[in-house]
Amino acid sequence: MYQVISYIKFLFTSTNQHGVHSPFVYNFVTKCLYNKVNYSAYQKLTDYHKILKSSRAVLQITDLGEGSKTLGTNKRKVNQMVKTSSSSKKESKLLFRVTQYFNFNTILELGTSLGMGTYALALANKFSKISTIEGCPNTSNFAKSKFKELEIKNVTFINGDFTVIIPSLKEDKFDFIFFDGHHNKAATIQYFKSLLPKIHNDTVFVFDDIYWSKGMTEAWEYIKAHKTVTVTVDCFHLAFVFFRKEQAKQHFKIRV
Ligand SMILES: C[S@@+](CC[C@H](N)C(=O)[O-])C[C@H]1O[C@@H](n2cnc3c(N)ncnc32)[C@H](O)[C@@H]1O
């Protein structure tokens, strides 16, 4: 219910590119978010989604996050997980466009799950270096084995709890960080703060599911208000954070 009400509110308060005066944000909206090119990678994402939907695999899950609000047991079918815990095709395509538009090289994903988002990131730039962290060993291994079949070579799968892995990351800086696991207020703020030392001026953070719960929306408000953050672009399912010092602090809600 919270998500439905939030979506209705979002529809009334969001806009398109009209009224966006910042050239940086205007270009991001018109040339990236609204880019209508039908990239060949989209077909690959659709195909992978189909593979997952038709999979008969069952995984014994170690749940470190909020879990799924609809699946209760510890054993989960991959073909159910893709419906409830994976980025949708629409979100994956958006992740692909954003990664390609900014040409990110060093990328971190919190929450691999079955690798829908990871695949989008990997397809956007085959020379990028992607690290993806997943707390459930069986899920991480499943995604890893699928990526071997897909012949994707620019992804490092890391199994462990975010709180343990983040401090041990070797990269000094990341161009892009996708926060997509452990959807609660305290955890989201904790991961946001713990990764701030890894940003540079052009780093972009993206948060999934900021309207998952009241707490997640409060975490989003905290992030927007943070002194390091200048521009934010809320597209409902995904919300982007920019740190560019040359931008005035401004928050946008854009319907994609
Ligand atoms: C929503 S799914 C990720 C979806 C994926 N990014 C995609 O685009 O399809 C969230 C994942 O985060 C993992 N996770 C949640 N909390 C975690 C934690 N504290 N440490 C490590 N992994 C965690 C869960 O096991 C789950 O697989």
Ligand 1 atom closest to residue 109's alpha carbon, by position in its atom list: 6
pLDDT tens-digit profile, the chain (256 residues): 999 999 999 999 998 888 788 999 999 999 999 999 999 999 999 999 999 999 999 999 998 866 555 555 589 999 999 999 999 999 999 999 999 999 999 999 999 999 999 999 999 999 999 999 999 999 999 999 999 999 999 999 999 999 999 999 999 999 999 999 989 999 999 999 999 999 999 999 999 999 999 999 999 999 999 999 999 999 999 999 999 999 999 999 999 9
Rounded distance from Cα 113 to ligand 1 centre (Å) = 5
Ligand 1 atom closest to residue 134's alpha carbon, by position in its atom list: 22
Whether 143 is in the pocket of ligand 1, judged by its Cβ within 6 Å, is no
Whether 87 is in the pocket of ligand 1, judged by its Cβ within 6 Å, is yes
- Tell me the CA distances in angstroms from 91 to 42, 43, 60, 71, 128, one per residue in order: 11, 14, 26, 21, 20
Rounded distance from Cα 218 to ligand 1 centre (Å) = 20
Whether 182 is in the pocket of ligand 1, judged by its Cβ within 6 Å, is yes
Rounded distance from Cα 118 to ligand 1 centre (Å) = 12
pLDDT for position 18: 87
Q: CA-CA distance, 204 to 94, in Å (whole number)?
A: 14
The DSSP output letter for 94 is H
Nearest alpha carbon, ligand 1 atom 21? 135
Prediction pTM value:
0.96
Nearest alpha carbon, ligand 1 atom 16? 65
Whether 64 is in the pocket of ligand 1, judged by its Cβ within 6 Å, is yes
Q: CA-CA distance, 218 to 222, in Å (whole number)?
A: 6
Rounded distance from Cα 111 to ligand 1 centre (Å) = 3
Domain boundaries, the chain: 2-253
The closest alpha carbon to 129, from 172, 167, 90, belongs to: 172
Top-level class of domain 2-253? alpha beta
DSSP per residue over 2-57, as a string? HHHHHHHHHHHH-B-STT---HHHHHIIIIIIT-----HHHHHHHHHHHHHHT---
pLDDT for position 179: 98
Rounded distance from Cα 256 to ligand 1 centre (Å) = 24
Separation of CA 197 from chain center:
19
- Which residues touch 133 (CB under 8 Å, ≥6 apart)? 108, 109, 110, 111, 112, 158, 159, 160, 162, 165, 166, 181
Rounded distance from Cα 119 to ligand 1 centre (Å) = 15
